[in-house]
Every structure is written in structure tokens, then in C-alpha cells.
Amino acid sequence: MSCITISPVDRSRDWRSLWRLSQQIYAGDPCWIEPLRTERKQLWSKRNPWFQHARGQLFVAHRDGEPVGSISAQIDQLQASENGQSVGYFGQFESIQDGEVAKQLLDHASSWLKKQGCQRMRGPYDLSINQSCGLLVEGRDTPPMILMGHAPAYYQSLFEDSGLRGEKDLLAFLVAPDFSAPSAMTRLVHRRRGSLEFRPLEMGNYDQEVELLRELFNDAWAENWGFVPLTREEFAHTGREIRRILNPRHACIAEVDGEPAGFIIALPNINEWIADLNGRLMPTGWARLLWRLKRGRSTTARVPLLGVKRRFQGGGMGAAISFGMIDRIRHALYENGVRQVEMSWILEDNKGMNSLIHAMGGKLSKRYRMYGRAID
């Protein structure tokens, strides 16, 4: 068998190998949408504020001069240890259907993380849990939504044959925005009328609003599995990236007696707009994308961010805040032409949110799995 070589990605030709590898793996897959190549490279730019508290390396594997796989390894100083173990991440995994290639890639990432002092490896992550993460194990018959992943069916066996075991499932649900509101939910919100109010995002005060959303997010998600807080710089960077596509009527902040208590953001599914660009903005892709951004209409959208402050979670108030925010933005989404909204991702054991989505007629559309293994 020919030798497999694994080397860091640090030159233009390495990136060209990654593009060629992706096109080979997903050739013939009608549901794959190639991410914009400029965004994939920018993810690894040292200007990415994530690298202020983290470090990592992207690798590409070759055999006989041809790219056969890729993987990244990264460690985040803000990741709390679990059961006394330091946890490192892997991601950016792509591989031809070859168990030896996959094993060597995963072993290479594990070895890199061991040198950083990690005792456990978890993934896949683009970089962290606050970005695209999880391996798609159900729902390959439809394209992914904005900032969600796609993968061939054989990746699951490659992972498990290499010693990875599932740790947590992340769920995606599709909801039609014109659903019939559950009467129990509408009564719940109505009973709290006066103390519970909802307001749109104030775009004229955008930077301050983004910082408020970060504070709400870090509080709401603090006790969730795998939580890593977002820094001020990271969230501000995200805010700048989404501002062009964010419709203020598709975002909402909930207040209880004037205190910010929760928020929700829905984004247009820009995968609809880039599907025919094949990952390239040059020479003409940028003009088509700018026109679509200006037009600002898509038939699908995704809710990537929804949170309720911990002190309001549970009981009737938590449910009223969550449903009230969804109810507030769904009408604007429908009026703007959106016919399907993906709510993702939701932890498999988040019974409250899963039950609420089912009550609104939501259907499970995709399942992503987080994997892990001990580092020897």
C-alpha cells in the first residue's frame, strides 16, 4: 500500500488540495453545497478573534501525490476540564472511503492534542462548539442550512471503526412559520402580559445590542453540555459578519419587568444564494451574491441563536419567553417569503425546547452526532 503523508496546511497549493479533495468526495451529491472558499480560509486567519484564546492546526493527507483527507486539531483555553480531563477538539474532517486514511488522520490529530496536554479528543468542530459542529448521521436527503454541515454516509463507520464513540446528538427541526399556535402557549404568554414584553433589535444601537446578546447567550447556555463562553471580541466579530443579512424584524429581545431575559435571531439561509457558486466568488460569483444579498429574500431560514436567562428558565415563564419570541418573529419571516425555518441545533436531552417545537408542528429533519475518545 502506498504511503500516506500528513502535513500542515500553510501554502496556497495546500488549500488547492483541499478544494480538489472536497469536489472529489462530494461529486454526484446533489445536497452538498460547497462553502465559500474565502470564508474557509478566513476561519484560519490569525485575525479570527477565536485565536486570542485558542490554537490549532489544519492538516491535509496525500497518497501518491493526490489529496485523500483532511483534519484539524485545536485546543481552547476557555474549555473547562471535564472530570479532571483536558478536552481537545478535532474537525475539518474529510476523507475518501478508506479506513486506513481515516485512522491515520484521527491518530494524527490525537497525537497533536496529546502534545498540548489533552487527555480526551472530541469533535467534529469547525473550530469550536459555537460554530458548525457534529457529524451528520440522519437527514442527508436535503441540503444543509446556513452554518450547518453535510457529510457522506460512510463517515459514521470511519469514525466508529477508528475508536470514536458517540457522546451527544444535536437535533435540527423544520417548522413552518404559519403554524397554528398552541392554545396553551398563547394563554401562557397572555397571562404574563404586562410584565413580559418583546422588542425588535435596535439597529441604530447595534454594537450595544450585540454585546447585550452576548451577555444573554453566555448566561442562558452556561450549564449546557460542552459550553464555552463567547468573548466580547468573538461576538462582535460575529455581529459584523451577520449584519448585512440580518433583518431586525427577524430578531427579538424579551424583557421581564424591563430586564432583558432572552433573545432569538433568525437568519436567511444563504446556502440558497451560494449553491451555484461552487465555492468561488471570482470572477463573477461576487456580483451574483451581492445582488442576492441586496434582494434579501430566501424561502428558508435558520434560528441559530435562542436563549433564556437561567433565572427565568423552567416553569411557565421560561416557556412563555421562548414561545413568545418565536411567535413574534415567525409572522415577519412568513411575510418575507420564508416557508420553512430550521431550528438548530437543539441538544437531544433539552426536553423543554424539543417539546415546544413539536407542539408547533416541528419535524425532526437532521441529526448531528458529537464523538469522542480518550487520548492514549
Tally the domains of the chain: 2
* Co-location of 144 and 186 in the same domain: no
* Co-location of 123 and 92 in the same domain: yes
Supply the pLDDT for residue 1: 56
> How is residue 132 written as a grid cell?
458548525
> Which among 78, 94, 77, 76 has a CA at the least distance from the CA of 9?
94
Q: Residue 194: inside a domain, yes or no?
A: yes
Residues in the chain: 376
DSSP state of 248: G
Among 115, 136, 170, the domain boundary falls at 170
pLDDT by residue (tens digit) across 19-71? 999 999 999 999 999 999 999 999 999 999 999 999 999 999 999 999 999 99
Q: Which amino acid is at 345?
A: W
Among 170, 196, 223, the domain boundary falls at 170
* Co-location of 182 and 165 in the same domain: no
* Co-location of 166 and 278 in the same domain: no
* Co-location of 161 and 135 in the same domain: yes
> Which among 294, 295, 275 has a CA at the least distance from the CA of 285?
275
Supply the pLDDT for residue 295: 75
> For the chain, which residues score pLDDT lower than 50?
none
Supply the pLDDT for residue 194: 86
Domain of 99, in residue numbers: 4-170
* Co-location of 119 and 81 in the same domain: yes
CATH number at residue 71: 3.40.630.30
* Co-location of 75 and 195 in the same domain: no
Q: From the CB of residue 314, how many other CB atoms can be counted at a distance below 10 Å? A: 11
> How is residue 248 written as a grid cell?
431586525
> Which among 96, 110, 83 has a CA at the least distance from the CA of 26?
96
* Co-location of 78 and 219 in the same domain: no
* Co-location of 118 and 193 in the same domain: no
Among 128, 143, 170, the domain boundary falls at 170
Report the C-alpha gap between 62 and 20 in whole angstroms: 12
